[in-house]
Amino acid sequence: MKLPFRISVLAYIIIIVSAQMNAQEGSSADTLRQNAVRVFIDCWRCDMDYIRREIPYVNYVRDVKEAQVYVLRTTQSTGSGGTEYTFTYVGQEEFEGMNDTLIYHSNPDDTSDRTREGTTKMLSMGLMRYVARTPLFNELEIKHLGISEEDEVIDKWNYWVFELEFDPEFELEESLKSINWDNSISASRITHALKYEFRADMRFRETKYSYEDTTYIRDRKTWSIDNLIVGSISEHWSAGLRADLSSTTYRNLRSSLDIIPSVEYNIFPYSESTRRQLRMLYGIGYSYNNYIDTTIYGKKEEHLFEQSLDVAYQVQEKWGQINISLEASSYLHDMSKNRIELDGFVSIRIIKGLSLSIRGGVARINNQITLPKGDLSEADILLRLQELATAYSIDGGIGFTYTFGSIYNNIVNPRFGNRGYY
């Protein structure tokens, strides 16, 4: 009967000794890092466990106000299908005024591991100027891996990038069977002077369901061919043409053609697009609609002229980020047939540890000229196979986040799994 008691005492002793060893290990690590640069990394879906392991000579803090260096990582797609990663370094406290910007490009065929390795290496290079001003510079060694030769780059594809996609899906239940086919092909050629994009999509959905000994079969078909060509005029101006051909049973369109010349002005230079944008895009052009069923206005086909204005504001700073877009459009033959939509996402760091995020969208809809005449079946309504009449749409949400405790976030412990991203 004394054996369980002895095991409990032994386990208690092991726990105490282990805790003391961990405390000594933590104290040693804290002493080593007490003069390290405090860094706050602001990015979406960064592998922070990997970054902490590869860059152990800085202190990672949870709040931007505790940091000596604020690092913002932003991304945007490149013409080749890869990604451009921009690292913006902002010095705070004694590093005030020591700012920098570095850029890393990944190739479209790079693995996630290679991209992670390359972006982390670029991140560490930008931190060197700050680490060099601390006692931890003795812990680092910079060396050259080999002799690099500058070769002339010859692009046999002349900046053209192609993509094929085939994505079948299916779902089977006792009373419901659904098959989805999504196929697409795209081609693009993007340079600083000219941007051309082509995309063709085909989507097919067949739904078969049984109810009260009756089997219903419903199809939803969509195909589209989109073309966009844009020329750069200056650091603020660009002009282009969009030509789209499409068909969709959801919107009662047997075929639809849109040709929209447009002009865009960006208040900020396009070279600053990863940090901030305020773009105004205006287009006016021609549309032709051929309907599957007669519309509520008694039309089987229409020749239309329409105009649109899009305003988009995006900014990412250490206090948070803002993404707001306003879209307005109308038909020229009847200005009362219009649509206005406002969408936005705002994330603001209010005070230490407290953040506010707001997202939402609201639309005033008065341009549903494609709605079919007559009543819809119950199946079309429940399965959303046909567009429904509406005067508005609203969605949104609000959230608060408050964190407190230790300002440091240096430890990596993957036991039992973790997110690894934030």
Q: What is the pTM of this model?
A: 0.65
Q: Are residues 170 and 289 in the same domain?
A: yes
Tracing tokens 């773009």 back to the chain, one arrives at 279
Q: Are residues 299 and 370 in the same domain?
A: yes
C-beta of residue 222 within 8 angstroms of C-beta of residue 202: yes
Give a yes or no: residue 403 inside a domain.
no
pLDDT digits (tens, 9 = 90+) for 387-421: 777 888 998 998 887 766 666 665 555 555 554 44
C-beta of residue 369 within 8 angstroms of C-beta of residue 401: no
Q: Are residues 112 and 180 in the same domain?
A: no
| CA–CA gap between residue 102 and residue 126 (Å, rounded) | 7
Task: Determine the pLDDT at residue 23.
Answer: 47
Q: Are residues 119 and 181 in the same domain?
A: no
Query: Domain total for the chain?
Result: 2
Give me 129's structure tokens. 């100027």
Q: Are residues 241 and 103 in the same domain?
A: no
Sign for the CA dihedral angle at 289, 293, 295, 300 comes to positive
HSE (side-chain half, CA atoms, 13 Å) at 15 = 6
- CATH number of the domain encompassing residue 32: 3.40.50
Q: What is the mean predicted confidence (pLDDT) over 177-201?
A: 89
The rounded percent of the chain whose pLDDT value lies above 70 is 81
| CA–CA gap between residue 413 and residue 113 (Å, rounded) | 20
314 is in which domain, residue-wise?
160-390
Q: Are residues 297 and 253 in the same domain?
A: yes
Q: Are residues 174 and 130 in the same domain?
A: no
Give a yes or no: residue 143 inside a domain.
no
More confident residue, 289 or 220: 289
- CATH number of the domain encompassing residue 311: 2.40.160
